[in-house]
């Protein structure tokens, strides 16, 4: 479900089994308005690219408590990026990359879909204790640096 709120803001509901909650999208420039409809422990995520072959995914924390976690995903890059939340005990930088230059999403508990450059999306997930890897799974982006680990404690 998507509801237009005006001024380029869209609130999206999710029926995903992860308890994927709600999302808000705003324009870039730092003056954008964020209207989360559900909140949890905040985690800032910055995504971007420094060249055609070097990209990044940066978190402002490496650990949060189990329960509702609200990710604010900022695409600072020059192209679309996304954030897939994978629950796995695999090392964040050692996931198997397939012939399609992507990692498996079988362990996904939710995602922030492809986000245009300069946009911000806020989405809340209900996360259980464990190890997670956040990735941009657009072709080649994981292999070019878009991956980070986050631990959810009990």
Average pLDDT, rounded, for the chain: 84
What is the value of pTM for the model shown? 0.78
Please answer whether residues 20 and 13 qualify as being in contact, where contact means their C-beta atoms are separated by less than 8 angstroms: no
Q: What is the pLDDT of residue 27?
A: 57
| pLDDT bracket for residue 39 (50, 70, 90) | confident
| pLDDT bracket for residue 23 (50, 70, 90) | low
Q: What is the pLDDT of residue 127?
A: 98
| pLDDT bracket for residue 37 (50, 70, 90) | low
Q: Which domain holds residue 148?
A: 2-153
Give the lowest-confidence range in 14-23, 73-82, 113-122, 123-132.
Answer: 14-23
Q: Which carries the bigger pLDDT value, residue 28 or residue 105? A: 105
The mean pLDDT of 98-105, rounded to a whole number, is: 97
pLDDT digits (tens, 9 = 90+) for 108-122: 999 999 999 999 999
When divided into structural domains, the chain yields a total of 1
CATH (domain of 132): 2.60.40.420
């Amino acid at each position: 479900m998507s509801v237009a709120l005006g001024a380029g803001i869209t609130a999206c509901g999710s029926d995903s089994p992860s308890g994927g909650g709600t999302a808000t999208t705003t324009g870039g420039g730092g003056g954008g308005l964020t209207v989360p409809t559900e909140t949890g422990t905040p985690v800032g995520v910055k995504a971007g690219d420094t060249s055609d072959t070097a990209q990044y995914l940066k978190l402002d924390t490496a650990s949060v408590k189990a329960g509702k976690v609200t990710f604010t995903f900022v695409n600072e890059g020059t192209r679309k990026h996304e954030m897939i939340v994978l629950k796995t005990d695999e090392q964040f930088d050692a996931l198997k990359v397939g012939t399609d230059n992507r990692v498996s999403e079988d362990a996904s508990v939710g995602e922030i879909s492809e986000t245009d450059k300069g946009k911000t999306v806020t989405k809340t997930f209900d996360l259980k204790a464990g190890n997670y890897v956040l990735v941009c799974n657009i072709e080649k982006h994981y292999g070019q640096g878009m991956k980070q680990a986050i631990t959810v404690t009990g």
